[in-house]
Amino acid sequence: MHYSREQLIVLFTYLPVLVAAWMALRRYRGADHPVKLLCWLIFFALLIESISRIFWFFKVSNLFLWPIYITVEFGLLTWIYSLVLDRKWLITLRGWMLAAFTGIVLVRELGQPGQSVWIDNAGRSIESVVVIFMALAYFYKVFQELKVQNLLLEPFFWVSAGLLLFFSGNFLIFIFMNFILLYSKNLNDQIWVIHALMNYMLYITYAIALWVGRGK
């Protein structure tokens, strides 16, 4: 079976997730609570990627996994940052934020029956804004407190940097994704390649975060 270059790039996004999952497995037992939650996020991503590849090989739409993944990812990232930032208001609101986000995603999914090739860009766009805010709040906290001697040895420096780059870069992609799909299939394929490369970057930063934090 022949695959295009774009398809191979998207297909092999599985590899950095697998590397990050291997690091998460090694680090999990001795990790603190936020890092354990990051490990769970990586394990869940590996599960979704595995199921997605199976459907992809059998040429069956795997887009039904999308709302499941972004909802779980949103919930875990909000939980992680509520602990890392140590802000009572975020700890109090994280459950309500997840409930509201889940409701929005469900309404969007149920409101678009039969559009199996479309992606719910509203959910991802909202998630992008919230995660960008939390990543920036982490950097503000670190630079304000000045307690960290070497940022490169801080796991959540790498996590926050990866998330900030990933969601900043993908924000416009997900806003215009469905329009691009209608406009040009070739352009849509190129956009998915960009998204795949950014996904590589995100899970590489996750793996680095777990690696540099192994001694803590």
Mean pLDDT in consecutive groups of 10 residues from the start of the chain, 216 residues: 67 88 94 96 96 85 87 97 92 95 87 58 89 96 86 94 93 73 70 86 96 74
Burial readout 30-57 (b: 16 or more C-beta within 10 A, e: otherwise) = ebeebbbbbbbbbbbbbebbeebeeeee
Cα–Cα distances in angstroms (integers) from residue 12 to residues 9, 17, 45, 162, 201, in the given order: 5, 9, 14, 19, 13
How far apart are alpha carbons 40 and 35 in whole angstroms?
9
- Of 20, 22, 34, 16, residue with least CA distance to 216: 34
Cβ within 8 Å of residue 203, ≥6 positions away: 16, 17, 19, 20, 42, 45
pLDDT value for 195: 83
How far apart are alpha carbons 94 and 75 in whole angstroms?
8
Helix axes 185-212, 33-57, angle to 10 degrees: 150
pLDDT value for 164: 96
Cβ contact 120:112 at 8 Å: yes
